[in-house]
Amino acid sequence: MTKPLVAITGASSGIGEATARAFSKAGHPVLLMARRMDRMEAMNLPNAVLRQVDVRDRDAIAAAVRDAEAIHGPVDMMFANAGIARLADIGRQPPEEWDEMIDINTKGVMNTVHAVMKGMMERRHGTLVMMSSIAGRKVYPDHTVYCGTKFFVHAVAESLREYLSAHDVRVIVLSPGVIETEVLSGVLDETTLANYKSNKAKMGGGIGAEIVGDLILNAYQLPQNALVQEICLTPTRQTY
C-alpha cells in the first residue's frame, strides 16, 4: 500500500533533514521545504517534492502543499520544524534579531500548521509535529526572546491538541536539548556563542539528529488513537 505524504519545513539540515531521511526510508513520499534548495537536492530522496520556501510566507507554504498533494495525496503529517536561534544578552541584542525569531519561530509555525489543519480535520486523520525546545520549558541565560518563542509553541500546541482531539488529529511537541545541528550558526553574539560551546563540551557534545528523526517516526507510527504528546530529548549529561 502507498504510504501517506509527510511534509517538513526546515528540511535542508539538522533534525528536519534527519526526519526526512527517516520517513523516506520508511517508504513515505515527502514534501521538503526550506530556503536552501541545493541542500535538499543533494539528499536525493525518492518520491520527494522540493520547494524553496520561507515559512514567513504563508502563501508559499500553502502552494507547496497543494503541489505535493496533487502528486501524492493529502499530507498526513506536517513537521513545523523551521526555526532560528539568535541568542544574545538581551541588554545588547539588536531588536531586529527579536523580530526574526518571532516571525520564524512563532508566525512561521502557525503558517505551517494553517496549510494542512483544515484538511486533516475534514479527513479526521493527521499529525502535527511542532518544533519547540527544552527552552520552551525553562529559561536560560541569553535565551530571552528565543525562550519566549518556544514557550509560545508549547502554549499553542496545548490549545491545538485540545481543539483537534475531537477531530482525531494528533499534536506532538518536540522539545530537544542539545542536538548536533547547525543551530549555532544563528548565534551572532560571540560571548554567547563561546559560552554555549563551552557548556556543550562539558556535557560531551550533543546527540545525533538521526535519533530525533527516528523518535518522530516511531511516535507517528502509533495507532491514530495513541498520542505521544511531547518528545523531550537531551544528552544524558545535560542537567539543565
Q: Annotated catalytic sites, by residue?
A: 146
The residues pairing with 180 across neighbouring beta strands, listed in sequence order, are 208
Cα 38 from Cα 8, distance rounded (Å): 16
What is the end-to-end Cα distance of the chain in Å, rounded? 44
Q: How far apart are CA 36 and CA 51, in angstroms?
A: 9
Contacting residues for 158 by C-beta, under 8 A, at least 6 apart: none
